[in-house]
Every structure is written in C-alpha cells, then in structure tokens.
Amino acid sequence: MDAKFINPFISATLQVMETSAATKSERGSLFVKKGEGPLTDISGVIGVTGKFIGSINIGFPKDIAIKVVSNMLGGMKIDDIDDSVKDGIGEIANMVAGAAKVQLAEIGYTYKLSIPTVVVGRDHHLSFPPNVPCIVVPFTAIGLGDFYLEVALKMIIPIED
Amino acid sequence: MKFLVADDSSTMRRIIVNSLNALGHTDIVEAEDGAEALKNTTGVDFILTDWNMPNMDGLTFVKAVREKDKKTPIVMITTEAAKDDVITAIKNGVTNYIVKPFTMDTLKAKLEKIIK
C-alpha cells in the first residue's frame, strides 16, 4: 500500500490523541500484518466503503484506553472498561478515520465511514480478509505505553497517477 | 435558551453538554440519533448535531428540520470535514460547522462565539 494512503491515518491518529485526549504519542515502525497481530484489550473499528473497502482499527491495552477516555472527559475517574470507555474508544476511531478522510479527499480519494464498532476482550486480535492488506502502525503514548493502528484497505478504483 | 444535542457517542454528548454547562446553559435535550432528535425539536432554540449517526444521520435530520423551520441555528459537530461535505451541509441548512477533534476549551470558545 502506497505511503500516501497510510500517512493520513498516522497524522490523524497523532492529532486526535493529542487534541481530543491530551495524550502526546510517537509512532513506531509500521509493518504488514501476518497472522495474529498485536494483542490489545479494546479496539475501535470503522468500516470504509468507496474508492477503498476495508476497515480502520485502533487498539489499546486496558490502562491506556481508560486514561485516554478519562482525559477526553476532562479527567473523569474511570476504574475499568465501562460503557464510557467503549464509547470513547469508538469515538477515537471515528475521529481518526474522519480526519484521515479529509486528507485523502484533498488528493482525490474519497470514502464513506461506518458507525464505529468496539471490540472488548483481554489480549484479542482482529483478523482481516486475506485479500485485504493490513498495515500495522505501532504508537507509544508518552508516559503510558503502546497502542496500535491497523489500516486494512483495498482500493477498488484504479489509481491514476 | 434551550439546546438540542444529537450525537450517537455518549462521550461526545457529555463533552458538548459540559461545554454548554460551562457557558451557563443548562436547558439541554440529548438525542442518540437523528430520528430521536427529530422528535425533540419542539421549543428548541439551538441545535447541535453530529453527521454520522445510526437510524437517521445528521444531514437527513437537518433536511427534515429545515422543511418546517428555516430559522433555528443548526451547528454540525462532526469529523465529516471534507470540502464537499461542508458545502453539502451548508446548502441543506447548517448554519455553522465545528470539526472534530477539538479540545474542550476550543469547543467552548467556538460555541460561545456562535451562540452570541
């Protein structure tokens, strides 16, 4: 997958985490997902249709998810993955996919977003269809730990450079 | 002043409601989607709505409101910020646009300016 399709999702993730959740993050080295990918405790998944089909997933360990959503809600005390955390992580995924959509639209690649789905389960991973390439981008939320963005997209309209 | 806040995310509704509360506004009705919002427009002076919602999306909701009501200000608070999306929303009756993500301080400042 061309970097020009991945970079908007990376910059959107950094922007959403900092702006919405007051959490500065650094990206690691991306890799192609093969087999079971990074294990997380809660994932926000957005389906994509249009010139791309596939999905965007942002997955967090429990403690980071709780801190991120607490920050979104102005420091509200949260002890476990409750409804507010599930909803908040879904909204993070929605904002990441939405912010990337704006950047990709500027270079002529449009898509529509589904309503977020949130998956909860200790040390889970998400599988994608074998014909849809999935790029994993690890991030480190500074002072908190690692979380992961997975971009699994297949272009269905030919690219014209 | 009575506000209607429509967003399928309870987190986002809480952020918006907290921001309105901080500005001194407490008469607020919440809705989880456009269909629920449409049932709660009576007596509302100001509408804040998301775009991407289940059952009835924000744009369909705005169109339905504008069939009967041309005046009530409607602010779209959404990630749908591509140029064509903004133009579509404004053509269909949205009066102001706030793009997610934002900090609570930014949201408060923008809402204060728009409400005034």
Say what the pLDDT of residue A160 is: 54
CA A58 remoteness from chain centre: 3
State the average pLDDT over residues B29-33. 98
A160 within domain boundaries: no
What pLDDT was estimated at residue A159?
55
What is the model's pLDDT at position B116?
A: 84
Q: What whole-number percentage of chain A has pLDDT above 90?
A: 75
Domain boundaries, chain B: 3-115
Q: Is the pLDDT of residue B76 over 90?
A: yes
| Chain A residues with beta carbon closer than 8 angstroms to that of B83 | 105
First to last CA, chain B: 12
CATH of the domain at A33: 3.40.1550.10
The rounded distance, in Å, linking the Cα atoms of B30 and B37 is: 8
Whether A13 has a pLDDT exceeding 60, the answer reads yes
* pLDDT range class, residue A157, cuts 50, 70, 90: low
Residue B90 predicted with pLDDT over 60: yes
Query: Do B51 and B74 contact (CB within 8 A), yes or no?
Result: no
In a domain, A161, yes or no: no
Q: Looking at the 3D structure of chain A, how many domains does it have? A: 1
Q: Could B15 and A73 be called an inter-chain contact, meaning their C-beta atoms sit closer than 8 Å?
A: yes
Nearest CA in chain B to A93: B79
CB-CB contact of A73 with A88 (8 Å): yes
Q: What is the mean pLDDT of chain A?
A: 92
Residue of B7, B8, B9, B86 to mutate when probing chain A, most A C-beta within 10 A: B9
pLDDT value at B21 more than 70? yes
3-state secondary structure of A47: strand
pLDDT in the model for residue A5: 87
Is A35 a member of any domain? yes
Instruction: Decide if A41 contacts A56 (C-beta within 8 A).
Output: no
| CATH value of B3-115 in 3.40.710.10, 1.10.150.20, 3.40.50.2300, 3.30.160.60 | 3.40.50.2300
- ipTM of the complex, rounded to two decimals: 0.87
* Cα B22 to Cα B18: distance, rounded to the nearest angstrom: 6
Provide the b/e sequence for B50-73 (b: ≥16 CB within 10 Å). Answer: bbbbeebbbbbbbebbeeeeeebe
Region B1-18: mean pLDDT is 95
Range of the domain at A131: 3-155
A29 backbone dihedrals φ, ψ, rounded to 5°: -85, 130
The tens digit of pLDDT for each residue in A41-88 reads 999 999 999 888 899 999 999 999 999 999 999 899 999 999 999 999
- Given a cut of 80, whether residue A133 has pLDDT beyond it is yes
* Surface-to-core class of residue A124, CB atoms within 10 Å of its CB (0-12 exposed, 13-18 middle, 19+ buried): middle
